[in-house]
Chain A
Amino acid sequence: MRWQYLFRRLALTAVTLLLVSVVTYGLILVTPGDPAKLVLQKQLGQPPTAEQVAVFRAQHGLDEPPHIQYLHWLGELLQGDMGQSYYHERSVSELLVDRLPVTLSLAAGGLAVSLAVSLPTGILSACRPHGYADHASQAVALLGVAMPNFWLGYLLVFVFSLTLGVTPVYGSGTPAHLLLPSLTLGTGLAAVQTRLLRASLRDTLDAEFVTAARTRGLGERLVVYKHALRNALLPLVTVLGLQLGFLLNGAVIVEVVFQRPGLGTLLVNAVFDRNYPVVQGVTLLAGVLFVLVNTVTDLAYERIDPRVSLGGEPA
């Protein structure tokens, strides 16, 4: 059953990525302007000669008809070659390998911040519903959802870097550089997680087995942490997988705000520079990451909750 599920998932992923690449190629086709001229103009600082354009087009396979270009790209991809960046004579896979750690560390940092915030506040809110702490955390969660992360980023820079001078402003490399971006990225996530954990823990605390545990005279602490929380965490696990999409979306903007050389800045620059092989590469990688994480989440979900069976008909 699980193999069948995995196979289905992989097939769907392959189709998704294929479609995304076709759409991207289609868009490139209908877009006015020759990337060769634009790229050369940027590199040379002056309009390129016809000969230079021809050389560039031959070098990057742009002289072939569009569908051949696409099949060519696809064929090389299947052999593990994602093509060459239009700039800096570098291969796309090299660029991706360079940038991936920067983005992954940001995503990990954001996730750590969000869990550090949402677990305690969610539990506190659920145990004392409609108390002060609950109202405060709900208000903060609401604000976290509404806050654009580009504004939050600059607010944090203003307070912590420019006014207090405790963190470096922009760039990457040291753990200190990771602090503000992680906070920025983690806040929005924390808001969603807190709301979800509160709701799911409230439901669980009303369940019969919790009442039974209480009736047996177990202490409230033991009831909440050992019995209820374990069950209430299930929905959170699923959402963590879905939130990777949110993380990737957010990472693009956060990386631009803090000028971190990650996949997000790579994609934004590539889009502006008409560096199409890089655009294709980053999109592909984002899709693979997203589906990979969601598959792992589903498998974890099945592990935690024996009632869940992947791919099978519900019993």
Chain B
Amino acid sequence: MSPDGEAGGHAVRDAMAGSGRLRETLRRPQTATGAAIVGSLTLVALIGPELLGTDPMAQNLSNRLHPPSLAHPFGTDRLGRDVFARVVHGARFSLGIAVAVTVIRLVLGVTIGLLAGYAGGWTDELLMRIVDLLFAFPGIVLALVIAGIAGPSLTNVLFALAVVGWGTYARVVRSEVLSVRERDYVTASRLSGTPHHRIVLEHVLPNVLGPTIVLATLDIGTVVLATAGLSFLGLGAQPPTPEWGTMIAAGRHYLQTAWWLVNVPGLAIVVTVLGFTLLGDGLREVLDPDGRTERSS
């Protein structure tokens, strides 16, 4: 039996209690709806385009601005392209970008938070001042400037959004590290010569896992909104890429004649963000009962 047998036992018991609570939370209609939306969207993004088989770029100028019909459930756009196929392909772009941005934010934020909390001293001071700086500026405006100057493209939007958004993770993780450090069993473990990386892996990371999962779930929704917003402004995906924000920007000139061009991608965004928000709020009750991830803005 390893010396951490007891801590391991705690972890297992906690995990079991957690899975019981998870089942309970999933039974609530809000969380269940969120999970269902997120699940189906993931499926659509992964296999939807291939399953559908319709080319989202295929133009048919004799079939322009056709209202929804059996052949084109969401109508066609000004170049006769199938809007349904474009929205389905858009799910891949939107979710792909959102997940990528969130993963970068998470890795950056957790690493910096761990470093700041664990190293303390001037490293901590410096890193946390950088986080203050990030919070001292409206995020989209900063991302807009970064992505705009670097040149309009989805990749630049991805990096701009990742760079401006890791602060929350760093703050949550750092404060968790500070509180875990002082616990008796961690002090004991440190005094008995356990190397730092093992203390981080065994005691600190498991404690910050819950809050970061909650933050990340909610973040995906926020990033979907931000990406679509920047693309709407013309900074992200460029036509003819079937991205939701770009589709709204292109469809706005047909507000009166072809209502589906703006409303179908708009609805797709709302459903996506709603799904991740509902799921994130539900997960918070299981994974972060103390409310360390409460959003203040």
**Which residues of A pack against B, CB within 8 Å?**
12-13, 15-16, 19-20, 23-24, 27-28, 31-32, 142-143, 145-151, 154-155, 157-158, 162, 192, 235, 238-239, 242-246, 248-249, 252-253, 256-257, 267-268, 271-272, 276, 279, 283, 286-287, 290-291, 294
Q: How many Å lie between the Cα of A24 and that of B149 in the bound state?
A: 8
Nearest CB in chain A to that of B133: its residue = A16
Nearest CB in chain B to that of A271: its residue = B148
CB neighbours (8 Å) of B273 from chain A are 145-146, 148
Q: A146-B274, A253-B232, A279-B145 are in contact. Are A20 and B266 (CB under 8 A)?
A: no
Nearest CB in chain B to that of A149: its residue = B229
Q: Mark B166-194, 1 if CB is under 8 A from A, else 0.
A: 00000000000000000000000000000
Across the interface, do B256 and A162 meet the contact criterion of CB distance under 8 Å? yes
Across the interface, do B270 and A248 meet the contact criterion of CB distance under 8 Å? no
B248 within 8 A of partner (CB): yes
- Interface members, chain B 133-152 (any A CB < 8 Å): 133, 136-142, 144-146, 148-151
Across the interface, do B255 and A157 meet the contact criterion of CB distance under 8 Å? yes
Across the interface, do A150 and B145 meet the contact criterion of CB distance under 8 Å? no
Nearest CB in chain B to that of A294: its residue = B136
Q: How many Å lie between the Cα of A23 and that of B269 in the bound state?
A: 31
Across the interface, do B270 and A15 meet the contact criterion of CB distance under 8 Å? no
Q: How many Å lie between the Cα of A237 and that of B152 in the bound state?
A: 37
Select the residue from A151, A243, A267, A271 with max chain B CB neighbours within 10 A: A151
Q: A13-B136, A162-B256 are in contact. Are A271 and B235 (CB under 8 A)?
A: yes
Across the interface, do B255 and A268 meet the contact criterion of CB distance under 8 Å? no
B236 within 8 A of partner (CB): no
Nearest CB in chain A to that of B234: its residue = A272
Across the interface, do B266 and A155 meet the contact criterion of CB distance under 8 Å? yes
Q: How many Å lie between the Cα of A276 and that of B229 in the bound state?
A: 22
Closest 9 CB pairs of A and B: A271-B148, A151-B266, A249-B140, A146-B273, A245-B138, A242-B297, A146-B274, A27-B149, A248-B138
Across the interface, do A283 and B145 meet the contact criterion of CB distance under 8 Å? yes
| Interface size counted on chain B using CB atoms at 8 A | 44
Nearest CB in chain A to that of B148: its residue = A271
Q: How many Å lie between the Cα of A245 and that of B139 in the bound state?
A: 8
B245 within 8 A of partner (CB): yes
Q: How many Å lie between the Cα of A291 and that of B277 in the bound state?
A: 29
B59 within 8 A of partner (CB): no
CB neighbours (8 Å) of A158 from chain B are 255-256, 259
Q: How many Å lie between the Cα of A16 and that of B262 in the bound state?
A: 38
CB neighbours (8 Å) of B232 from chain A are 148, 150, 253, 256
Q: Please name 8 pairs of A and B residues whose Cβ atoms are closer than 8 Å in the assembled complex, sorted by A.
A: A16-B133, A151-B263, A245-B137, A249-B138, A253-B229, A271-B144, A271-B148, A291-B136
Select the residue from A150, A252, A256 with max chain B CB neighbours within 10 A: A150
Min CB gap A233→B, angstroms: 15
Across the interface, do B141 and A31 meet the contact criterion of CB distance under 8 Å? no
Min CB gap B253→A, angstroms: 11
B225 within 8 A of partner (CB): yes
Across the interface, do B297 and A245 meet the contact criterion of CB distance under 8 Å? yes
Min CB gap B264→A, angstroms: 10
Q: How many Å lie between the Cα of A147 and that of B133 in the bound state?
A: 28
Nearest CB in chain B to that of A264: its residue = B141
Q: How many Å lie between the Cα of A243 and that of B252 in the bound state?
A: 28
Min CB gap A45→B, angstroms: 21
CB neighbours (8 Å) of A252 from chain B are 140-141, 144, 233
Dominant SS at the B interface? Answer: helix
CB neighbours (8 Å) of B228 from chain A are 148, 150
Q: How many Å lie between the Cα of A294 and that of B137 in the bound state?
A: 11
Nearest CB in chain A to that of B218: its residue = A145
CB neighbours (8 Å) of A245 from chain B are 137-139, 297
B125 within 8 A of partner (CB): no
Nearest CB in chain A to that of B274: its residue = A146
Min CB gap B234→A, angstroms: 7
CB neighbours (8 Å) of B151 from chain A are 31-32
Q: A12-B132, A162-B255, A271-B235 are in contact. Are A151 and B262 (CB under 8 A)?
A: yes
Across the interface, do A143 and B136 meet the contact criterion of CB distance under 8 Å? no
Contact of A249 among B133, B139, B262, B277 (CB under 8 A): B139
Min CB gap B88→A, angstroms: 18
CB neighbours (8 Å) of B2 from chain A are none
CB neighbours (8 Å) of A24 from chain B are 145, 149
Nearest CB in chain B to that of A192: its residue = B297
Q: How many Å lie between the Cα of A252 and that of B129 in the bound state?
A: 27
Select the residue from B132, B137, B252 with max chain A CB neighbours within 10 A: B137
Q: How many Å lie between the Cα of A16 and that of B270 in the bound state?
A: 34
Across the interface, do A154 and B137 meet the contact criterion of CB distance under 8 Å? no
B112 within 8 A of partner (CB): no
Nearest CB in chain B to that of A29: its residue = B149
CB neighbours (8 Å) of B234 from chain A are 268, 272
CB neighbours (8 Å) of B269 from chain A are 146, 148, 151
Q: A155-B263, A158-B259, A162-B256 are in contact. Are A146 and B221 (CB under 8 A)?
A: yes
Known: A148-B232, A271-B145. 16 other contacts (CB 8 A): A24-B145, A31-B149, A31-B150, A143-B274, A146-B273, A148-B248, A148-B270, A149-B229, A150-B232, A239-B297, A245-B297, A248-B141, A249-B141, A268-B148, A283-B142, A291-B136
Across the interface, do A238 and B277 meet the contact criterion of CB distance under 8 Å? no
Min CB gap A289→B, angstroms: 9
